Amino acid sequence: MNKAIKVILVDDHAVVRAGFRMLLAASDGIEVVAEAERGEAVCQLYQQWQPDVVVMDLSMPGIGGLETIRRVISRHQEAKVLVFSVHDEQVYVHHAMSAGAQGYITKNSAPAILVDAIHALAAGGTYIEQGLLKSLPQHDQQIDYQTIIATLSPREFDVLRLLAKGLTVQKIAEELCLGQKTVANYGTQIKSKLQVSNLAELAHMAVLAGVVKS
């Protein structure tokens, strides 16, 4: 009898985690061994349970999904992370995979896709939901923005995303558990890299690049 695939679920919504757990419990060969609502707990849980796959959201309070992926992979190079997110924009897929994830699927996908993706990662492969790596529109400005955004750190990307959504520096600081001065400095760095002078231009760029929806 094959050993069950051990999974840690990471999502800040308890109801969502409960749904994932029920789905995976009905699948042969997969066992949810632990859950977390924030990225800060994942490294400790990984050390304790040594899971085969970590299934996690990207949009979470605290250090956020991208930084969590980076930390887990830096401490446990064998770790296999499957992103399960509402975001289907290519820029999110790129950043997640660059941070070290081996798979990316959306929460709109069929239940069987989650199961297939977990099995693929546990077997040492990768899994990206079909259609997520579609070609970018051929627009010079958008291609330039995509290239620049790809160079942002996970923290810079999180700040960019929240600034583009219209959150204040204070709200972003609370969301990411950072100091307001640190967030302001990130904002200045991001605007410099993207060559924009104000938040309106930054938000417009973020829409063009697919970071946020218009």
Domains of the chain: 5-128 (3.40.50.2300), 140-209 (1.10.10.10)
Listed residue (63, 162, 146, 150) closest to 98, CA to CA: 150
Q: Give pLDDT tens digits for 65-116.
A: 999 999 999 999 999 999 999 998 888 888 898 889 999 999 999 989 999 9
* pLDDT at residue 137 is higher than 80: no
Which pLDDT belongs to residue 47? 94
Which pLDDT belongs to residue 144? 66
User: What's the CA gap between 24 and 81, in Å, rounded?
Assistant: 16
How large is the average pLDDT for residues 1-30?
Answer: 92
How large is the average pLDDT for residues 139-161?
Answer: 77
How large is the average pLDDT for residues 172-196?
Answer: 91
Which pLDDT belongs to residue 141? 46
Higher-scoring residue by pLDDT: 10, 140: 10
Contact, 85 vs 107, CB < 8 A?
yes
User: What's the CA gap between 52 and 24, in Å, rounded?
Assistant: 14
pLDDT band at 133 (very low <50, low <70, confident <90, very high): low
SS3 8: strand
pTM of the model: 0.74
